Amino acid sequence: MLFLSACTQLKEDKDDLKQRPIHSNTTTKRFSFTPSGQLSPASSGRGRFGDNFIYAPYIRFPIEHAPTYINSQVYGIGGMYGRAGNLCDRRNYQYPWHDNFCEKRGWGMPLCPSGTGHQGVDIRTATCAKKRYYAVAVESGRISYIGKYTVTLRGNSGRKYRYLHLDSNSLQVSRGQRVKRGQRIGLVSDNMGNTKTSIHLHFDMKQTIVIDGVPKQVYVPPYSSLVDAYIRLLKGRP
Amino acid sequence: MQKILISLMVLIQMVNASGGVLPVEWPTKTNLQQKIEKSYPAELKKKIKKVELPVLLPKAYIFNQKMSIVAEKNYYAITIFFKGANLMVSGDRSYQLEMRDIDVKSQKMLKRVKQEFIRSEGMIVTDFSRYGVSYSMQLECDNFEEDKRCANDKFLRKLYRELVIVGGKR
């Protein structure tokens, strides 16, 4: 009974967290975020609305310092399908955060309501400056892959985290290297091989879920885990 | 108070969450396979000898000189370097969640999941289970818009069909 009561309280608390801006003592700007799965603009697709499950509890936020902004690159100002303007428009660099997991893409995504969508979330750094802000390891583990524009960290939990668009020349890690939670990986940039993209970090998480005895490795929603991690970062306890 | 409750909520989720290591369903090894495995490059054999799951690689690239091997007891990731592209093949015995940990809607979605070859941020990726554990293949091209290997899933499908066991500790 006590447990149920605690759970109800926790659920209420979580709902409260979902709807209200969080005030932080460690930053002058108010952090706020829209609920998980609520994509913006609405025309950008259908997210996993109501899925507040924290798939990766207690991860470190993947960018070293706040503030950062989670919102759409494609549907934001200056994006391919966004309002006309500059990608560096200050309106792209403000709260609230908007989930963009499952945003419209032509790619297969089993956990998206439409069956296709964005496999991670896009995170903008504090400013539009290229190669200034470090992406860091969200948990201790090992660097399993480094490609032209991708770094994959296999955490000790077994989760795989992909960091995309880092500047190749700034990488602080090598293939097979063991890293600690919070260790620098590389500078956020606009690297996508020979194709240009905006300055942001694409971050996604893949994990194995056993369904009817069969392991299924899928991209899981990172947004709730990132909100939780970011609040800790703002409080000075990343 | 709110901070304590949020922390408690995450903690409860961590305690309740499943996770662990999957049992491997090892296939029977023939004498011929044992003989073939002996001929594999010493460097490859040395690096994967402690991996406790079948290590898969496309047979055409077992002797490729340009590869990077990251291997642990329950996990491996081998990257093969082609000109202008990388192929990563990985296998993992770990799992993080079970059906009971996720909501009913997600359970239904996951039950329908079949192996697919998908485009993921310019790469072609496929995830599949074999021998009771998880595997993944990822093909990344330097120039994914023009490189035919990344234009569709044909090349990765070909590599997938060519996967063979090259080692692993039973």
**Chain B environment of A51 (Cβ under 8 Å):** 103, 106
Residue B125 CA to residue B128 CA, distance in Å, equals 10
**Chain A environment of B95 (Cβ under 8 Å):** 158, 207-210, 215
Compute the nearest-CA separation of A181 from chain B (Å). 17
In the predicted structure, residue A14 carries a pLDDT above the cut 50: no
Q: Which residue of A has its CA nearest to B68?
A: A175
The string of pLDDT tens digits covering residues A148-165 is 999 999 999 999 999 999
**Chain B environment of A145 (Cβ under 8 Å):** 70, 77, 79, 86, 88, 90, 138
In the predicted structure, residue A23 carries a pLDDT above the cut 70: no
Q: Cα–Cα distances in Å, from A42 out to A72, A84, B124?
A: 11, 17, 28
Q: Where are the domains of chain A?
A: 2-234
Q: Among A14-23, A134-143, B33-42, which stretch is predicted with the lowest mean pLDDT?
A: A14-23
Written as six digits, the tokens of A106 are 């032509």
B125 in Cβ contact with B138 (< 8 Å):
yes
**Chain A environment of B72 (Cβ under 8 Å):** 142
Task: Report ipTM (2 d.p.).
Answer: 0.89
Residues 49-88 of A with CB under 8 A from B: 51, 53-55, 57-58
Query: What backbone torsions phi and psi does residue B18 show, to the nearest 5 degrees?
Result: -80, -150
Helix (H) / strand (E) containing B90: strand B85-92
Written as six digits, the tokens of A166 are 């880092």
**Could you write out the DSSP letters of every residue in B58-87?**
EGGGTT-SSEEEEEETTEEEEEEEETTEEE
Q: Which residue of B has its CA nearest to A203?
A: B121
**Chain A environment of B136 (Cβ under 8 Å):** 160, 206, 217
Q: Which residue of B has its CA nearest to A114?
A: B109
B2 in Cβ contact with A17 (< 8 Å):
yes
CA dihedral for A86, A42, A230, A202, sign (positive or negative): negative
* Secondary structure of residue A131 in the 3-state scheme: coil
Q: Does B94 touch chain A (CB under 8 A)?
A: yes
Mean model confidence pLDDT for chain A:
89
- What pLDDT does A4 receive? 38
Least CB–CB distance from A119: residue in B3, B120, B135:
B120
- What pLDDT does A29 receive? 62
The string of pLDDT tens digits covering residues B134-149 is 999 999 999 998 999 9
In the predicted structure, residue A224 carries a pLDDT above the cut 50: yes
**Chain A environment of B9 (Cβ under 8 Å):** 10, 13-14
Q: Pseudo-torsion of CA A163, A165, A169, A171, nearest 10°?
A: -10
- What pLDDT does A94 receive? 95
CB–CB of B144 and A164 under 8 A?
no
> Would you place residue A21 in the very low, low, confident or very high pLDDT band (cuts 50, 70, 90)?
very low
Q: Does B64 touch chain A (CB under 8 A)?
A: no
Question: What residues in chain B have per-residue pLDDT under 50?
Answer: 2, 15
Q: Hey, what CATH topology would domain A2-234 get?
A: Glucose Permease (Domain IIA) (2.70.70)
In the predicted structure, residue A2 carries a pLDDT above the cut 60: no
Residue B11 CA to residue A72 CA, distance in Å, equals 30
Residue A58 CA to residue A224 CA, distance in Å, equals 11
> Would you place residue A96 in the very low, low, confident or very high pLDDT band (cuts 50, 70, 90)?
very high
Residue B78 CA to residue B55 CA, distance in Å, equals 9
- Report CA A109 to chain centroid distance, whole Å: 16
A172 in Cβ contact with A184 (< 8 Å):
yes
- What pLDDT does A194 receive? 81
In the predicted structure, residue A66 carries a pLDDT above the cut 90: yes
CB–CB of B110 and A216 under 8 A?
yes
